[in-house]
Amino acid sequence: MTMVHLPQPYLLYLADVSDPRYAKTAQGLRDWVPERCVGEWSLPGNDLRLGLPTLAPAAARERGARSLVIGVAPVGGRIEPAWVPGLVEALEAGLDLISGMHTPLSGVPELAAVAERRGRRLIDVRVPPPDLPVASGKPRSGKRLLTVGTDCALGKKYTALALTMAFRQRGIDVDFRATGQTGILIAGAGLPIDAVKADFIAGAAEVLTPAADPDHWDIIEGQGSLVHPGYAAVSLGLLQGAQPDVLVLCHAHDRHHVSGYGPDFPLPPIESVLDLHLAHARLRRPAVRFGGISLNTAGLPESEADRLMDKLERDHGLPCADPLRGGKRFERLVSACLGA
């Protein structure tokens, strides 16, 4: 995989996105690489805050920032016209721009013109490598764990990162395999799977997780959901190409319908989501199994979180944990993933 060399530290741009679910890039960088984040910046009228210093581009540059990262990922991945003046301000202040959006930065004429005049870089990380193959479907050595979900934006990346850290602490040879823009920004390498043409998604997953030593683990950041009306295709291609030995299902305690689609799109029962993933995964890896359930319990008191995780364990016979709460529950999940 190609390492991504990015100008650091960052100013995180929240633009006009006020829903925390769509500020996951900024939140991921704040949570996993806070040492690289100088501050945050929003457009006037946006009250969303991540707890970092609020800095305009010029002030951030004075504090050492070298780039502005578009820290939001709304549906569609477009750079909105309302964001452009702020991006121009960052370029004029001497910052490079980093984007994980589908819209290329150089495709916005105002940005291209200012970047050329000011000698600044426009860096798009959601660009797949050229000449990706169609998947071979052939088995390959090494062990692979894929995080999957009942919906998008509920913890697949965080779960994969937390499991990678836990495996490493146990002396396991392991790599985190990033498949989205935020994961790539955190890890410095990866492949933006949702930017790959459909015929090559499974092949891209094979490239991302090549044959390895039999004791080596790749922990793969999941994308979307097999039951998502918009993003199921990328989820299925990733599942087929990754050929996981172990799956971890990610769910959010307060998610009852598909995010952004409303009550007409209820999430199916967890049992059916588990069965659906196994049915597809077994086509490539007959012995695949679920290691457990990762439950996002954000906002709940500990007693209520424990009650919900106990219920999921009873209902599905799998260990359940919130990786961000850690503790013995998470250690049991890690052990189950390793088959211990």
What CATH number does residue 211 fall under?
A: 3.40.50.300
Domain co-membership, 247 together with 301: yes
Asked whether residue 27 is domain-assigned, the answer is yes
Strand order in the sheet with 246-252: 174-177, 217-220, 143-149, 246-252, 289-296, 320-321
Contacts of 119 (CB under 8 A, 6+ apart): none
Domain co-membership, 74 together with 150: no
Domain that holds residue 110: 10-124
Indicate the residue among 124, 158, 181 that finishes a domain: 124
Start-to-end Cα distance in the chain: 31
Domain co-membership, 220 together with 269: yes
Asked whether residue 134 is domain-assigned, the answer is no
What pTM does this model have? 0.91
Exposed (0-12), middle (13-18) or buried (19+): which is 78, by Cβ within 10 Å? exposed
Asked whether residue 2 is domain-assigned, the answer is no
Over residues 176-230, the pLDDT tens digits come to 999 999 999 999 899 999 999 999 999 999 999 999 999 999 999 999 999 999 9
Residue 1: which pLDDT band, with cuts at 50, 70 and 90?
low
- Kindly state the tokens that stand for 271: 């049992």
Domain co-membership, 94 together with 147: no
Indicate the residue among 124, 151, 168 that finishes a domain: 124
Domain co-membership, 184 together with 111: no
Asked whether residue 273 is domain-assigned, the answer is yes
Domain co-membership, 102 together with 154: no
To which H or E segment does residue 210 belong?
Answer: none
Question: Could you give the C-alpha distances from 236 to 1, 159, 208, 281, in angstroms and in order?
Answer: 22, 19, 15, 9
The CATH number given to whatever domain includes residue 57 is: 3.40.50.720
**Predicted local confidence at residue 340, as pLDDT:** 77
CA distance 221 to 177: 6
If one counts the domains in the chain, the total is 2
- Kindly state the tokens that stand for 209: 């997780």
